[in-house]
């Protein structure tokens, strides 16, 4: 039993857990993976309110008042990360950096100037420079001074220690598969395997809210980006954090590990499960880096995911619709460090009965386009298993059944249902991560069918298919 149950140990869940525990609330946080191994830990780790060219568009779409609220929320969210890192002495490599949104096109200068003007009207230290300090030619950049970057894994693990020190309970490697709502003093029951947790209030800080009566899977749209870290770059090669404003857009910043400096580069986004060749995207990203930036060996590479909203405003806070003290946070559109922290601050305020000026802006029960995400089709359907190479996957059709087939490096075939356990969409094989990705709502499954992240909570079903039906190992 607990006062507040929090599902999800990313930046939203842990920040809310710490703020609540420090205020004396009884908090239990449940994380499906290990702390720092989810979306936040794989992010670009920019602590910034500069969200590419955001503010002129917000003013145009939503008006000055809402744009100011968004600016204030993200400024406060970024400031809270600084505050917690310093006051709690979390060693997370936090350091001040200017943020640049650059262009390669001279005809885009007016857009930079318009954004700088909009940002300054909202209180940001914004200006336009004739050239971004990058090792390749560009036509200028919007600059926000005094932003920051950090190591998100160290920040989260440090924050988790302080949640525990403040009296919070944390459970890792524990996947909540079901949320049950009933009447009474403890209306929420969380199911994780054979375990049950009863709670008075519920925060679902997962990719998409678990157990929500609101269909966020159609109000948000999943998208991925790939990232790589390169070794042996000059220590001071990049002074700042950079993101392109042109298509295709790349994001760059410097980082460090125990071996020395790293260059981290993110490639353009793409809809989850809509890409036939994710491996090809890594090849193109490395080619772009080799052409434009001094870099050594490719040290790390990964895929991360986020959810976009129509209009670019997150859904965060207490749900209406009779949810009975349920709080959610989703739809950060690629800017989850500042937005996620602001969302956690909002949720903590609401749980503690304090007013928060961002409640109406982020209101998760607000009217939204219920057709924003219409889903997609699997990119991995093949005519026969003979077309599936070793250490690869594909989807074959047998009557009305679609079968997700993975062929091991040794040639053995393994069959799963290709129906995502969330809403039944046919999954796509991700040839870089060796995962099954849902092109509708963004669930990701390991090659053996186990859930890596939701909204799905159940694994892909294993099938017993006669060997002669699938074909012979090759």
Query: Domain with 391 in it: what CATH number?
Result: 2.102.10.10
Those residues with Cβ within 8 angstroms of residue 185's Cβ, 6 or more apart along the chain or in another chain: 200
pLDDT at site 466 = 61
Q: Which domain holds residue 455?
A: 385-470
| Cα gap 264→237, rounded to integer Å | 12
Looking at residue 40, the DSSP 8-state letter turns out to be G
Query: Is residue 107 in a domain?
Result: no
Asked whether 17 and 341 are in contact (CB, 8 A), the reply is no
Query: Is residue 65 in a domain?
Result: no
Q: What percent of the residues of the chain are helix, what percent strand, and what percent coil, each to the nearest 5?
A: 25, 30, 45
CA 359 to chain centre: 22
Those residues with Cβ within 8 angstroms of residue 400's Cβ, 6 or more apart along the chain or in another chain: none
- Name beta bridge partners: 142: 101, 128
Query: Is residue 417 in a domain?
Result: yes
- Name beta bridge partners: 402: 397
Query: Is residue 351 in a domain?
Result: no
Query: Is residue 446 in a domain?
Result: yes
Give every residue of the chain whose pLDDT is below 70, as ranges: 321-323, 465-474
* SS3 label, residue 357: coil
Query: Is residue 46 in a domain?
Result: no
Please list, residue by residue across 401-433, b when 16 or more beta carbons sit within 10 angstroms of its beta carbon and e when fewer do. ebbbbbbeeeeebbbbbbbbbbbebbbbbbbbb
Structure tokens given for 367? 């009217």
In the chain, the number of structural domains is 1
Nearest residue to 16 via CA among 153, 168, 180 = 168
Query: Is residue 412 in a domain?
Result: yes
pLDDT at site 185 = 84
Asked whether 193 and 241 are in contact (CB, 8 A), the reply is no
Query: Is residue 185 in a domain?
Result: no
């Amino acid at each position: 039993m607990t006062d507040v149950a929090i599902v999800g140990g990313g930046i939203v869940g842990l920040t809310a857990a710490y703020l609540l525990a420090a205020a004396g609330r009884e908090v239990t946080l449940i994380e499906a993976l290990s702390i720092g191994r989810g979306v936040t830990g794989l992010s670009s780790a920019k602590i910034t309110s500069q969200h590419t060219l955001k503010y002129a568009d917000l003013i145009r779409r939503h008006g000055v008042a809402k744009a100011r609220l968004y600016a204030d929320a993200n400024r406060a969210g970024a400031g809270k990360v600084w505050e917690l890192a310093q006051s709690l002495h979390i060693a997370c490599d936090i350091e001040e950096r200017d943020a640049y949104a650059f262009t390669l096109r001279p005809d885009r200068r007016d857009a930079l100037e318009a954004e700088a003007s909009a940002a300054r009207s909202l209180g940001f230290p914004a200006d336009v420079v004739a050239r971004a300090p990058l090792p390749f030619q560009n036509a200028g950049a919007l600059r926000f001074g005094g932003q920051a970057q950090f190591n998100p894994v160290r920040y989260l693990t440090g924050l988790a220690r302080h949640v525990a020190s403040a009296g919070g309970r944390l459970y890792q490697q524990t996947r909540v598969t079901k949320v049950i709502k009933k009447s009474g003093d403890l209306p929420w029951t969380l199911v994780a395997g054979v375990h049950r947790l009863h709670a008075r209030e519920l925060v679902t800080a997962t990719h998409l809210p678990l157990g929500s009566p609101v269909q966020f899977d159609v109000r948000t749209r999943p998208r991925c980006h790939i990232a790589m870290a390169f070794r042996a770059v000059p220590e001071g090669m990049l002074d700042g954090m950079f993101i392109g404003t042109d298509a295709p857009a790349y994001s760059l910043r410097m980082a460090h590990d125990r071996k020395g400096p790293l260059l981290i580069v993110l490639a353009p986004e793409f809809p989850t499960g809509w890409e036939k060749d994710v491996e090809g995207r890594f090849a193109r990203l490395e080619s772009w880096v080799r052409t434009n930036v001094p870099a050594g060996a490719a040290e790390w590479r990964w895929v991360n995911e986020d959810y976009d909203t129509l209009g670019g405003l997150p859904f965060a806070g207490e749900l209406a619709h009779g949810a009975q003290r349920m709080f959610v946070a989703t739809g950060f559109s690629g800017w989850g460090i500042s937005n996620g922290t602001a969302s956690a601050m909002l949720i903590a305020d609401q749980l503690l009965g304090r007013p928060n000026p961002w409640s109406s802006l982020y209101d998760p029960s607000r009217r939204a386009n219920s057709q924003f995400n219409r889903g997609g089709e699997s990119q991995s359907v093949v005519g026969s298993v003979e077309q599936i190479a070793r250490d690869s996957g594909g989807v074959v059709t047998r009557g009305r059944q679609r079968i997700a087939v993975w062929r091991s490096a040794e040639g053995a075939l393994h069959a799963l249902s290709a129906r995502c356990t969330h809403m039944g969409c046919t999954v796509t094989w991700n040839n870089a991560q060796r995962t099954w990705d849902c092109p509708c709502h963004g669930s990701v499954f390991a090659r053996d069918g186990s859930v890596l992240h939701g909204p799905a909570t159940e694994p892909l079903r294993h099938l017993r298919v006669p060997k002669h039906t699938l074909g012979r190992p090759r």
